[in-house]
Amino acid sequence: MNGAAGAHDRAPEWAHLDADCLVAIKPSGLLSVPGRGEAHQDCLARRVQAHVPDALVVHRLDMATSGLMLFARGASAQRALSRAFAAREVGKRYIAVAQGRIEPPHGEIDLPLIADWPRRPLQKVDVRTGKPSLTRYRVLETDPSADCTRLELEPVTGRAHQLRVHLQAIGHPILGDALYAPPEVQARAARLLLHAAQLRFVHPTSGMALDIRSPAPF
């Protein structure tokens, strides 16, 4: 058995599991879905499907981001949950640690985003042609001695790399961000300090409101 196959056999950490949907906790550095080439086949989706074969992807997290990722069990549940994401009926909260002191202690970052085509997969702010993108934030703790801020983030829209680009754009890149932070901020953490900590959604069959949480590992 090769190394990738062995990795697929490792059971993910479950935050929720029932007959219609599940929530797994993705480690930082693991792909959400398979990439191109044999070296990029290990991913959370395959690890989940090795134990729950009918699991289907509903949304994705960046490779560097850890935390809660929702899967449907079967096509009907996938359609219902995908519709909920598209209608912005799924509540998402992230925990991040960013460079500097963020003021005011709560607010919104409303900056349109677009793919930075010459430097793909990077994204960038573009006020002329970017897609509307909105992030709400709330400061949890400021550490003046370390010159960083721990905060809760709510992506109202779901653009690629939205939280990372929005924080970088206001001058507070996330620690450990190898894509958007300057080298000295990248070096402050061994991983991207961004974690999907909460998912709130309506169960696709029972209609029950679910609130799934996972504490940040940093």
Burial 96-131 (b: 16+ CB within 10 A, else e): bbbbeebeeeeeebebbbbbeeeeeeebbbeeeebe
User: Distance (Å, rounded) from C-alpha 115 to C-alpha 132?
Assistant: 13
Active site residues per annotation:
62
3-state secondary structure of 177: coil
Strands 123-125 and 21-26: unpaired
DSSP designation for 176: T
Q: Could you tell me the CA-to-CA distances from 137 to 72, 76, 81, 94, 97 in Å, in that order?
A: 28, 34, 25, 9, 12
The length of the chain, given as a count of residues: 218
